[in-house]
Amino acid sequence: MQRLAKDRLRRLRVIPRLPAQRQPWRSRQWPWALILGWVLSVGIAVGARGADDEPTAQAARLLERMTTALRTLDYQGTLVYLIDNRLETLYLTHRVAQGRVQERLVSLSGPVRTLDRERDRVTCLLPDAQPLSVARHAALSRSATGPIDPVALAGRYHIEVRGAARVAGRDASVLMIRPRDQLRYGYQFYLDRATGLPLKSDLIDAQGEAIEQLLFTSIDLGSAPSSAVQAAAEPGSEALSADAPQAPPQSPPGPTRWRFDGRPPGFELAAHDLMEDGPGAAVEHFVFSDQLSSYSLFIEPGAADGLRGGARIGAVHAAGGLVNGHQVTAVGEVPAVTVAAAVAGLGWAADAAPP
């Protein structure tokens, strides 16, 4: 569910860089779309290296079972998403065909909005707007597949199995992953005992309080087509991937002189790529992760209209500022203090000329 992953458990939760008018901190249309951090969490791999004590080993088994379920099972159901006293109802269809995951998320409340994902491309359709298709760079996809070591994770999170519950009429095991500091969020997962599928996910803070909640109110296993999705989707939306404008091609990055010695503790560089942003323009993109939480750092030659200070939509925080004449923006499903520290901790190598 959330977000182990923003595509994410994991799954690294990477927020794609969109044109300025569509950046998530500039529009209130986007909070519901950030739910993809959970429902698209299929990139996590769990390893139980060194998990000698039974509670840690049990948690590792539950996470591994969840990963297997998300990658292999077909299912569809109605979801409820709650944050900031706002409630959204959505319908999710999840299919696995020849090892590929295909997903569609359709809003059932408010204007019709649709998100489709196949392989590493996400296509979004909003009312009265052109479809937008965004592809993840291969380096980012690979960075999301590294194994999570529950023992290593325990240095940043408390991990415990918290008994049983019932969600959507199904018995579930409750797994709590609570952060040990104020720099990251944690999760409480309700995992279907029969299949391992996440039926409910709470994004939680260091005190264990829920920041956002996402749960199935009904779920069906199997690949039968859903009339609810067909009725809710806009006519012709099945062709979104073909009709949507494609994101600019991404280039392999060269060496960087940027230094991250002041980054938030526990976050390590997981991916680095170069994103084309028009003729002769490029944005350096870095992803930092602690294996569970992550944030993206975008660096581009000083944009006059760039973000200054902080911004928030739902559980996603952003911070921006100028560093050595470059616009720097940090975005992630992490606390505000984390993205602010990511920007403040950025520096230029002392032995390099100014960029």
Paired sense of beta strands 114-118 and 309-313, if any: unpaired
Q: What is the pLDDT of residue 124?
A: 79
Instruction: Name the E strands within 205-249.
Output: 210-221
Q: What is the DSSP letter of 260?
A: -
* pLDDT attached to residue 254: 62
What confidence score (pLDDT) does residue 46 get?
52
Contacts of 338 (CB under 8 A, 6+ apart): 183, 184, 264, 267, 295, 317, 330, 332
pLDDT value at position 207?
A: 81
**315 CB-contact burial (10 Å; exposed 0-12 / middle 13-18 / buried 19+):** buried
pLDDT of residue 350: 64
Domains, the chain, in order of start with CATH, read 20-243 (2.50.20.10), 250-348 (3.30.200.100)
The pLDDT score that the predictor gives to residue 143 is: 41
Listed residue (249, 294, 242, 246) closest to 268, CA to CA:
294
Side-chain-facing half-sphere of 27: CA atoms under 13 Å: 13
Query: HSE on the CB side for 78, CA within 13 Å?
Result: 11
Q: In a structure prediction context, what are the per-residue pLDDT tens digits for the chain, which is 355 residues long?
A: 333 223 322 222 333 333 343 343 443 333 333 444 444 443 444 554 445 567 778 888 898 898 889 889 999 999 999 988 889 999 999 999 888 888 999 999 888 888 888 866 778 777 765 555 555 544 444 344 455 666 778 889 988 899 999 999 999 999 999 999 999 999 999 999 999 999 999 999 888 889 999 999 999 998 655 444 444 444 344 433 434 444 444 445 567 889 999 999 999 999 998 877 666 678 899 999 998 899 999 999 876 778 899 999 888 999 999 998 899 999 999 999 999 999 999 998 765 444 4
At 232 the pLDDT is 43
- Annotate 137-188 with DSSP letters as a single string: -HHHHHHTTSEE-HHHHTTTEEEEEEEEEEETTEEEEEEEEEESSSSS-EEE
Residues 6+ apart with CB under 8 A from 19: none
Return phi, psi of residue 232, to 5°.
-80, -30
pTM (2 d.p.)? 0.75
pLDDT for the residue numbered 197: 94
71: phi then psi, degrees, rounded to nearest 5: -90, -15
